[in-house]
Amino acid sequence: MTARLPAALVLACALLLPACGGQVSYEGVEDTTRTPEGRFERDIDDPDRQTVFGKGGVNALFDSTREDGAGGGLGVNAFLWRASLDTFAFLPLLSADPLGGVVVYDWYAPPDTRGERFKVTVYILDTRLRSDVLRVALNRQERAEDGAWYEAAVDPETTLALENAVLTRARQMRIAQLGQ
């Protein structure tokens, strides 16, 4: 019963969504052009055009040529974002939210330490390349005799070392970009 509810909700939304499309009037708008199909379309080269993603549109979100590394409309620093992906590339990626600045990695058990596994979550809190805008959360679990996983203590120095590794990589990327 509960599995049918989300499916029914999605189906209802899919059926009602076309009803939302009405005629858009461009009367009084000077920077429109008519498409071959006869519809009006705003001039995409208009420098004053406003979009949800800001000036430059969706492509500006991933513009790494910005000097500050802000990544356009992203809420995070592009250097920190890419550095976190590079630093933890050996971990299985569970989810990545570039707009919210959260990267979640799945559990990883190093081959040389059986009975122990780690999970990393990276939080990038701002668009500036600074140490206080980066947080790395490390979860550690140990396997008990019964085969179940139990939370274990994490040394704060380990978390600090992981944050420093990401920051070092981000600085290297920034210096490499300035040298180009």
Model confidence band, residue 10 (pLDDT cutoffs 50, 70, 90) = low
For residues 75-93, give the mean pLDDT.
93
Q: What string of DSSP letters covers 78-129?
A: HHHHHHHHHHTTTSPEEEEETTTTEEEE--B--TTSTTEEEEEEEEE--SS-
Write down all domains in the chain, each with its CATH number in brackets.
29-62 (no CATH), 67-178 (3.30.530)
CB of 83 within 8 A of CB of 169? yes
Question: In this predicted structure, what is the pLDDT of residue 120?
Answer: 97
Residue 71: count other Cβ atoms within 10 Å of its Cβ: 23
Q: Is the pLDDT of residue 124 over 90?
A: yes
